[in-house]
Chains A and B, each alone.
Chain A
Amino acid sequence: MAFDKMELRDIEVWDGNFAAAQALRQCQIDVVAAYPITPSTPIVEGYAKFLADNYVEGEFVMVESEHAAMSGCIGAAAAGGRVATATSSQGFALMCETLYQASGMRLPIVLNVVNRALAAPLNVNGDHSDMYLGRDSGWIQFDAYCPQDAYDLNFIAFKVAEDHEVRLPAMVHQDGFMTSHTAQGVHTLTDDQGYGFVGDFKPMNDMLDFEHPVTHGVQTEEDWHFEHKARQHNDLMTKVIPKIEQAFADFEKLSGRKYNLVEKYDVDDADVVVVCMGTSVETAREVAGEMRAKGIKAGVLGIRVIRPFPFMQIAEALKGVKAIATLDRSSPNGAAGMLFNEIAGCLFNTDTKALLSGYVYGLGGRDLTKAHLVDLYNELQANVDAGKVTTPLQQFIGVRGPKLSFL
Chain B
Amino acid sequence: MLEIRWHSRAGQGAVTGAKGLADVISTTGKHVQAFAFYGSAKRGAAMTAYNRVDDKMIMNHEKYMKPDYVFVIDPALVFTSDVTINHKDNTVYIITTHMTTDELKAAQPKLADKNVYTVDCITIAQETIGRPIPNTPMLGAFMKVSKMYDIEFFKESMQRILGKLPQKIIDANMIAIQRAYDEVK
- Identify the A interface with B (CB < 8 A): 9, 11, 13, 15, 124-125, 146, 175, 177-178, 181-185, 279-280, 282-283, 285-286, 367-371
Contacts and interface: CB of A to CB of B under 8 A. Distances in A.
B63 to A, nearest CB: 4
A368 B32 contact: no
Contact of A184 (B27, B39, B58): B58
B59 interface: yes
Given A13-B26, A183-B19, A283 B34 contact: no
Contacts of A177: 35, 38
A299 to B, nearest CB: 14
Contacts of A178: 35, 61
Nearest to B61: A279
A178 B33 CA distance: 11
A177 B38 CA distance: 8
B120 to A, nearest CB: 28
A19 to B, nearest CB: 13
**Chain B contact residues (Cβ within 8 angstroms of A): what range?**
20 to 34
Contacts of A285: 59
A367 B19 CA distance: 21
Contacts of B33: 182-184
A175 B35 CA distance: 13
Contacts of A9: 27
B23 interface: yes
Given A183-B19, A183-B22, A369-B64, A13 B59 contact: no
B146 interface: no
B32 A183 contact: yes
Given A13-B26, A185-B31, A282-B61, 18 more contacts: A13-B23, A124-B39, A178-B35, A183-B18, A183-B22, A183-B32, A183-B35, A184-B31, A184-B33, A184-B58, A185-B32, A283-B59, A283-B61, A283-B62, A286-B60, A369-B62, A370-B60, A370-B62
B90 interface: no
A184 B59 CA distance: 10
Interface string B38-71: 1110000000000000000011111110000000
A235 to B, nearest CB: 34
Nearest to A265: B59
B63 A367 contact: yes
A185 B60 contact: no
Nearest to A368: B62
B151 to A, nearest CB: 21
Interface in B58-111: 58-64
Max count, chain B CB within 10 A of own CB: residue among A125, A184, A371: A184
Contact of B34 (A13, A279, A280, A282): A13
A5 B39 CA distance: 36
Q: Which of A11, A146, A175, A185 has the most CB of B within 10 A?
A: A185
A369 B34 CA distance: 17
B36 interface: yes
B39 A125 contact: yes
Given A11-B26, A13-B26, A124-B40, A181 B60 contact: no
A283 B31 contact: no
Given A13-B22, A181-B36, A182-B33, A367 B59 contact: no
Contacts of B23: 13, 183
Given A13-B23, A13-B26, A13-B32, A182 B61 contact: yes
Contacts of A283: 59-62
Contacts of B22: 13, 183-184
A181 B22 CA distance: 13
A392 B130 CA distance: 60
Closest 9 CB pairs of A and B: A279-B61, A282-B59, A182-B35, A183-B34, A13-B23, A367-B63, A286-B59, A369-B62, A369-B64
Contacts of A371: 64
Given A13-B23, A13-B26, A13-B32, A181 B64 contact: no
Nearest to B40: A124
A283 B61 CA distance: 6
A146 B23 CA distance: 17
Nearest to B25: A13
A9 B26 CA distance: 11
Contacts of B58: 184
A108 B36 CA distance: 34
Contacts of A369: 62, 64
A184 B34 CA distance: 7
A184 B32 contact: yes
23 contacts: A11-B26, A13-B22, A13-B23, A124-B38, A124-B40, A125-B39, A146-B61, A178-B35, A178-B61, A181-B36, A183-B22, A183-B23, A183-B32, A183-B34, A184-B34, A185-B31, A282-B59, A283-B59, A285-B59, A286-B60, A367-B63, A369-B62, A370-B62
Contacts of A181: 35-36, 38
Contacts of A286: 59-60
A369 B31 CA distance: 20
Contacts of B18: 183
A279 B62 CA distance: 9
A13 to B, nearest CB: 4
Contacts of A125: 39
A247 B62 CA distance: 31
| Max count, chain B CB within 10 A of own CB: residue among A182, A285, A368 | A182
